[in-house]
């Protein structure tokens, strides 16, 4: 009892008397918090825990931090996307940009409502349950690991710009083993920096992010004026041949690499001032800036390096995806030599220096994300506590940083054997992890609309359809379907065996979770979160005293009269949850309408799979895009139907 009192006095508590209105108000509380299930006269205790991190970031700082990650992606995503999309590279990036818009707005709503670090993992944990939240968080760890790998590899690649003046940098550019060794050394150095705990300068990061944005805008403006040639861009397009439709669809998924830094805002939500306003505002700024650069820079790149037929390989190629695959933006600015050698020289020098700096910061951001997320998962008892163990001297989660730093270095090693394979591998793994996390975020935010309708949402996505107790966010539904389609296309395409790595990572995560939960003797599965019951009128019943035989006596056993009849225990058999939901589905829609809905869904799904397997599918024979479409549509329909049965 004494320990309980000490625990209660160690936290801040407010007694709140609910009189009228829709909000809890207290003189000692700085914010009014919306609650559900309120009735006049309720007296309740509200526990207010202080934020772990000070809220100091405004919309400008959030924008700069996010664009520092998103803007750095164009330095490597351009070459990787061009390897698959060829002349349709601008189209692939624009289509991926539309998917990014739905994802960014989805994250804006989720983060504004739940301003906690974790992004899609925290959304899934709140909307579904802990096991699903862990699985999404585990995939996010792979996402951050691939971020560190690919950013470090391309940071070394951009040093080749200075190869004419520093022979070592020229060796790193043309020698694959040296390039990979330097990448591993850079990752190792940043692992040591993060273990020691040297804090990066936030002011320097902001300055570099804005410098990067200004540089990209200037490059786009100069490129449109001096380099853009629409005729060359059109002549580089060979529909269905270069690229094939399957490669083009895969290129859209690969192009998602350009936009994966949107998780940064979610991870910084706990440090944001007024997150309900500043998070959506910063997200809008990021959307405008990224779409502008991603639409024009690839078009200028195809103008400088048009698609041509290679007589050696007997394939259509572009130098943007071959010769300049390691440093595509540096190759583009080299095109200024047709106008001015001086402009081309200084542009290459500046882009090389800025790209190296930005990509090193992006690598460090990936390692910081790994440490934060693994520490959070371990603190929530979803990973072994060893991953949350702090260094006795430096007070950093050194075990998680070292373990995932080693994994990031391993992803680069295929470059020693096969040139270019490590780039495609890292990009494909990055895209698989990112699209999986994005799709789960869309479904989580959509489900949160129904299980927590009273959750305070400072920002809501546009385009909503009234359904049940709340509304369906159309952008979340469309984004989930599109992302599920490109995800499964990428899975079945298995670029550089990336699918095996992704599935192996998922299996390792499941084994880790199961083993740790067994070790802690905790249940492996939790029921899905359910919404609260609707508010109803309280029935006022007159007070009645209990008979003497039914009264409870403190500290004594209740004596039962000898003549009292013995109650007979009746064992009630409970129906499985799936059977109950099926019965509720047909009870709601009726037998005929319910059967018609099931048949229509089955017919559309079967048609999609048939088209995917047939010869008329432009992406080629074999499964590709249809499983993602069918699975995501089924999950969305299940969640929407469940929202009705949960009422």
The structural domains of the chain, ordered by start, are: 2-48 (no CATH), 59-236+249-306+321-520 (1.20.1740.10), 578-645 (no CATH)
3 state SS of 30: coil
Q: Is the pLDDT of residue 88 over 80?
A: yes
What number is the average pLDDT over the span 125-143? 89
Task: Please tell me the predicted confidence (pLDDT) of residue 504.
Answer: 92
CB distance 640 to 472 below 8 Å: yes
Q: Is the pLDDT of residue 503 over 90?
A: yes
pLDDT over 60 at 296, yes or no: yes
Name the burial class of residue 518, with classes exposed (0-12), middle (13-18) and buried (19+) by CB atoms within 10 angstroms of its CB.
exposed
For the cut 80, the answer to whether the pLDDT of residue 506 exceeds it is: yes
C-alpha neighbours within 13 Å on the C-beta side of residue 440: 28
- Write down the pLDDT at residue 78: 87
Which pLDDT value is given to residue 429?
86
Place of tokens 């800025």: 354
What distance in Å separates the CA atoms of residue 361 and residue 373, rounded to the nearest whole number? 18
Query: Among candidates 326, 366, 449, which has minimal Cα distance to 149?
Result: 366
Q: What is the pLDDT of residue 33?
A: 42
- 349 pLDDT higher than 60: yes
- What's the pLDDT score for residue 428? 84
| pLDDT(116) > 80 | no
Taking a C-beta distance cutoff of 8 angstroms, is the pair 227, 329 a contact?
no
**Residue of higher predicted confidence among 303 and 203:** 303
The 10 Å Cβ neighbour count of residue 156 is 26
Q: From the DSSP assignment, how many helices (H) and strands (E) are in the chain?
A: 21, 8
pLDDT recorded at residue 636:
86
Q: Average pLDDT, stretch 46-60? A: 56
Separation between Cα atoms, residue 61 and residue 283, nearest integer Å: 12
At 280 the pLDDT is 83
**Contact by Cβ (8 Å): 252, 96:** yes
Here the tokens at position 173 are 């550019």
**pLDDT-above-70 percentage for the chain:** 78
**The pLDDT value given to residue 372:** 75
pLDDT at 570 (0 to 100):
52
Q: Per the structure block, which two tokens stand in for 329?
A: 């933006």
- Cβ contact 37:52 at 8 Å: no
Residue 454 sits at φ, ψ, to 5 deg, of -90, 5
Q: What's residue 20's pLDDT?
A: 39
Burial class (CB in 10 A: 0-12, 13-18, 19+), 632: buried
What pLDDT band is residue 645 in, cutting at 50, 70 and 90? Answer: low
What average pLDDT score do residues 235-257 get?
Answer: 80
Give me the pLDDT at residue 403, please.
87
Q: Is the pLDDT of residue 34 over 50?
A: no
The percent of residues in the chain predicted with pLDDT above 90, rounded, is: 6
Band (600; pLDDT cuts 50, 70, 90): confident
Q: Which of 503, 494, 505 is nearest to 624 (CA)?
A: 494
**pLDDT, tens only, 326-346:** 788 888 988 888 888 888 889
Please give the average per-residue pLDDT across 372-393, as a whole number.
Answer: 80
For residue 438, the Cα-to-chain-centroid distance in whole angstroms is 4
**pLDDT tens per residue across span 177-229:** 888 889 999 999 888 888 886 555 456 667 777 788 888 888 889 988 988 88
Q: Indicate if the pLDDT at residue 263 is higher than 80.
A: no
The answer on pLDDT for 501 being more than 70 is yes
Of the listed ranges 272-276, 408-412, 507-511, the least confidently predicted one is 272-276
Which pLDDT score, from 0 to 100, does residue 244 have?
81
Instruction: State yes or no: pLDDT of 24 exceeds 60.
Output: no
Would strands 43-48 and 23-24 be described as parallel, antiparallel, or unpaired? unpaired
What is the per-residue pLDDT for 575?
Answer: 62
Residue 603 has pLDDT above 50, yes or no: yes
Most confident of 143-152, 449-458, 498-507: 498-507
The pLDDT of residue 507: 93
Q: What is the reported pLDDT for 192?
A: 87
**Could you tell me which of 123, 111, 335, 328 has the C-alpha nearest to residue 223?**
335
pLDDT over threshold 60, residue 579: yes
Tell which wins on pLDDT, 18 or 224: 224
Contact indicator for 143, 437 with CB cutoff of 8 Å? yes
């Amino acid at each position: 009892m004494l320990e309980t009192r000490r625990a209660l006095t160690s936290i801040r508590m407010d007694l709140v008397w609910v009189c009228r209105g829709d909000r809890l108000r207290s003189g000692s509380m700085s914010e009014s918090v919306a609650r559900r299930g309120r009735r006049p006269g309720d007296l309740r205790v509200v526990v207010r825990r202080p934020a772990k991190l000070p809220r100091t970031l405004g919309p400008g700082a959030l924008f700069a931090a996010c664009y520092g990650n998103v803007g750095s992606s164009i330095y490597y995503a351009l070459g990787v996307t061009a390897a698959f999309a060829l002349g349709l590279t601008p189209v692939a990036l624009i289509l991926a940009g539309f998917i990014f818009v739905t994802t960014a707005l989805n994250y804006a709503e989720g983060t504004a409502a739940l301003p906690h670090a974790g992004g899609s993992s925290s959304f899934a944990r709140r909307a579904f349950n802990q096991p699903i939240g862990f699985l999404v968080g585990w995939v996010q760890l792979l996402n951050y690991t691939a971020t560190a790998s690919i950013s470090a590899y391309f940071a070394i690649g951009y040093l080749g710009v200075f190869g004419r003046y520093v022979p070592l940098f020229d060796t790193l550019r043309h020698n694959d083993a040296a390039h990979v060794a330097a990448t591993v050394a850079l990752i190792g150095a940043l692992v040591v920096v993060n273990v020691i705990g040297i804090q990066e300068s936030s002011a320097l990061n902001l300055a570099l992010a804005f410098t990067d944005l200004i540089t990209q805008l200037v490059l786009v403006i100069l490129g449109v004026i001096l380099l853009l040639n629409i005729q060359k861009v059109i002549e580089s397009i060979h529909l269905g041949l270069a690229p094939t439709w399957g490669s083009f669809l895969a290129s859209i998924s690969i192009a998602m690499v350009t936009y994966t830094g949107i998780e940064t805002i979610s991870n910084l939500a706990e440090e944001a001032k007024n997150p309900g306003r500043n998070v959506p505002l910063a997200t809008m700024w990021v959307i405008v800036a990224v779409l502008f650069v991603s639409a024009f820079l690839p078009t200028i790149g195809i103008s400088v390096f048009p698609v041509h037929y290679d007589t050696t390989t007997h394939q259509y190629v572009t130098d943007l995806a071959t010769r300049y695959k390691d440093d595509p933006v540096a190759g583009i600015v080299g095109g200024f030599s047709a106008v001015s050698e001086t402009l081309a020289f200084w542009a290459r020098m500046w882009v090389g220096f800025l790209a190296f700096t930005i990509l090193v910061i992006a690598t460090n951001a990936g390692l910081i994300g790994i440490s934060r997320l693994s520490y959070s998962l371990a603190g929530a008892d979803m990973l072994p506590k060893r991953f949350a163990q702090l260094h006795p001297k430096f007070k950093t989660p050194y075990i998680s940083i070292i373990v995932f730093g080693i994994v990031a270095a391993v992803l680069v090693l295929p470059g020693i054997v096969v040139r270019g394979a490590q780039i495609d591998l890292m990009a494909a793994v990055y895209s698989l992890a990112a699209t999986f996390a994005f799709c789960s975020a869309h479904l989580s935010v959509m489900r949160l609309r129904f299980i927590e309708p009273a959750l305070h949402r400072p920002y809501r996505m546009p385009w909503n359809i009234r359904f049940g107790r709340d509304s369906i966010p159309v952008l979340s539904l469309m984004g989930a379907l599109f992302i599920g389609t490109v995800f499964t296309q990428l899975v079945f395409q298995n670029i550089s065996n990336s699918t095996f790595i992704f599935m192996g990572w998922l299996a390792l995560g499941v084994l880790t979770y199961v083993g740790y939960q067994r070790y802690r003797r905790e249940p492996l599965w939790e029921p899905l979160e359910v919404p609260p019951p609707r508010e109803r009128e309280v029935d006022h019943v007159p007070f009645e005293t209990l008979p003497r035989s039914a009264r409870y006596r403190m500290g004594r056993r209740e004596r039962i009269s000898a003549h009292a009849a013995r109650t007979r225990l009746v064992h009630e058999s409970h129906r499985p949850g799936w059977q109950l939901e099926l019965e509720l589905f047909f009870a709601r829609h009726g037998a005929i309408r319910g059967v018609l809905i099931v048949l229509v869904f089955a017919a559309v799904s079967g048609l999609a799979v048939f088209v995917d397997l047939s010869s008329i599918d432009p992406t080629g024979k074999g499964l590709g895009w249809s499983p993602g479409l069918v699975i995501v549509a089924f999950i969305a329909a299940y969640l929407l139907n469940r929202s009705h049965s949960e009422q």
